Amino acid sequence: MRRSWLCVVVCLACSAATRQMPPPAKLSVSGTAAADTSASARLDGLARRYWKTFLETAPVTLVFDGGAGGPLFATALGDHRYDARLDDWSPAARRKLGDALAQLRSEASILDAKGLSPEEAITLEMLRQQITEEISVEACEGELWVVDQMNGPHTQLPQTWMYYPLGTEQGVSDLAARYGQVDRMFEQIVANLRRGMFQGKVSPRVNVQRTVASLDTLLAKDAAASPLLPPLERFSGLADRAAARERIRTAIENSALPGLRRYRDFLAGELLPRARTDVGLWALPGGETCYASLVAHHTGGKRSPQEIHDFGTRLLAAIAEEMQAVAKEESRPDIATFRAQLGHRSDQFKRTPEELLAWNRATLERATAALPTAFRNPAPLPIVTRPIEAYRAASNVPAFYQPAPDGGAQPAVYYVNIYKAETRPLYNGEALCFHETVPGHHLQGSIAQKLSLPDFRRQMGQTAYVEGWALYAERLADEMHLYSGAPARFGMLGYQAWRASRLVVDTGMHALKWDREKALEFLLEHTTLTKEEAANEIDRYLVMPGQALGYMIGESEILRLRDQAQKKLGDKFEIKDFHDVVLSHGAVPLTVLARLVGEWMDRPAGSK
């Protein structure tokens, strides 16, 4: 899963024999003098206002992007300006946001790019594109129907205390204030979903069922044992830790748990009986237009659902040939036989959650040690491996990445799903680890977060770039000799097939009227996912339409650009130089990336 929050600067080595991309020009993210009316100063002001708007009241893309935006998101980033606030989902807040985005788009559209540095010109281009996409996606009205079992607010709330300075009175007061608004927030969410019901906009039934199950697990414990309550040691530094913790417990008991219960009872009692069985966006009023907006938002392209569907089918055929070759190397006649054999090998599974976590930690350490073979002076931020919590594990993905907050006060987290640990195949686990950590999300994020760029560029980015890089990292890991053997390489190819299958099943369900069962059967037939993992994936695509398309579309473009560079530069091509170019500007749109790579290829050898 993606959130592109990013951390350590790329060191671009200078060599007369190689082609280098210069470090990006600095764009101030601090205050600008009031009298400065230059294009650069105006752009800086627009970028800061956009980011502030994004954190104050998240656009509706939040519900399609795994919770990116709003006060909860700000706290997780390490921005503590909004720690005492919760997301406002009232119609008035939505109107205010729409007005703010429209004003920003108007100002960005008339800003003259003359006088801007090349890097600033990219910022302006990205600002215009992102605001336009967010205004377009607002028409989806996701707040009226999306019920997200994986990334909904009920899953974000128990995480938020982890990012508070609870050893201070301010931190305690802010968290108590936030928890004190939970009942109000869920009242707004329920009101929105109720309005959606009357407009014929409701979530697929399976997502509502999964969310109710997650809420039941969360509500099974009282305030004193709730995952929302921080442990006593987090209050170290206060004279009376017990009293501080009691303030938080009281807010949980009086507002957070009643709010969560209100949400759960509404879902189970009112929404579930009216939830839809036709799972695709096509079944919603305005669904076709909404899907087109989401596809553009996540991929940056204008290909039709049918074109993307057909592209996925062709990619699957090519990947199947690679998988067949690995199976034959292992003296197995075909893919299905080798996959079945792997499923019965005891060395491909761990018996306990503890063993599975330890194995993932070791895999991450091995990948980190190998980074210098493909990158110049890589220095990813600290990262720890933790299990996905029980209240959200059953409906979650096999693993995901949580970036470190700005400032490095806490490490990034690689979350591993240890629910039914004995069913999690290790031959899939290596590629997944490399995707989520290094050389995937964690490395790319560590680099981008330290760039001298506006916050929205350091912390965000187009899905096709962010997830495309992480998927590219899975194949790159093979070149770095990170896979432990044929089973792991087979698993990597199975995961490539999984992402290619997404092009087929996402468009199939949301545009071509596939039902859930057909999509699930297709995923099981063409990937190495277990049945439970495949079902969780399908149900993720239902509430994040179009997001899953970004992975393979992004990887395909990065591979195309790399192949183009290798052919043009010949013996002068250096993989570390290529990676410098791709990573040194943050998560740019694919069109911008193609332009940057083209400029690098055309630059005389040895120039800066």
Average pLDDT across the chain, whole number: 92
pLDDT tens profile 123-169: 999 999 999 999 999 889 999 999 999 999 999 999 999 999 999 99
For residue 6, what pLDDT is reported? 33
Structure confidence at residue 16 (pLDDT) = 31
In this predicted structure, what is the pLDDT of residue 9? 28
Q: What pLDDT is attached to residue 7? A: 31
Q: What are the distances in angstroms from CA 46 to CA 33, 53, 66, 84, 274?
A: 14, 10, 25, 25, 43
Where is average pLDDT lowest: 216-230, 392-406, 480-494, 583-597? Answer: 392-406
Task: Look at strands 399-402 and 412-416 and give their pairing.
Answer: antiparallel
Report residue 65's pLDDT band, with 50, 70 and 90 as the boundaries: confident
The average pLDDT across 8-19 equals: 32
% helix, strand, coil for the chain, step of 5: 65, 5, 30
Mean pLDDT in residue range 565-590 = 97
Say if residue 178's pLDDT is above 60.
yes
Phi and psi torsions of 463, nearest 5°: -55, -40
pLDDT digits (tens, 9 = 90+) for 413-441: 999 999 999 999 999 999 999 999 999 99
Confidence of residue 607 (pLDDT cuts 50, 70, 90): low
Compute the distance between CA of residue 460 and CA of residue 65 in angstroms, rounded to an integer: 11
The tokens of 33 are what?
A: 């003098």
Note whether 259 and 179 are within 8 A (CB): no
Q: 407 versus 597: which is more confidently predicted?
A: 597
pLDDT at 179: 98
- Is the predicted pLDDT of residue 67 greater than 70, yes or no? no
Task: For residue range 24-59, list pLDDT tens digits in order.
Answer: 333 334 444 445 789 999 999 999 999 999 999 877
* Model confidence pLDDT, tens digit, residues 219-277: 999 999 999 999 999 999 999 999 999 999 999 999 999 999 999 999 999 999 999 99
- Domain boundary assignment for the chain: 146-283, 307-556
Report d(CA 335, CA 526) in Å as an integer: 10
Label residue 414 exposed, middle or buried (CB < 10 Å: 0-12, 13-18, 19+): buried
Across 450-475, average pLDDT: 95
Mean pLDDT calculated for residue range 546-566: 98
Strand pairing partners for 204?
A: 276
Residue 24 has what pLDDT?
Answer: 38
In the predicted structure, residue 409 carries a pLDDT above the cut 90: no
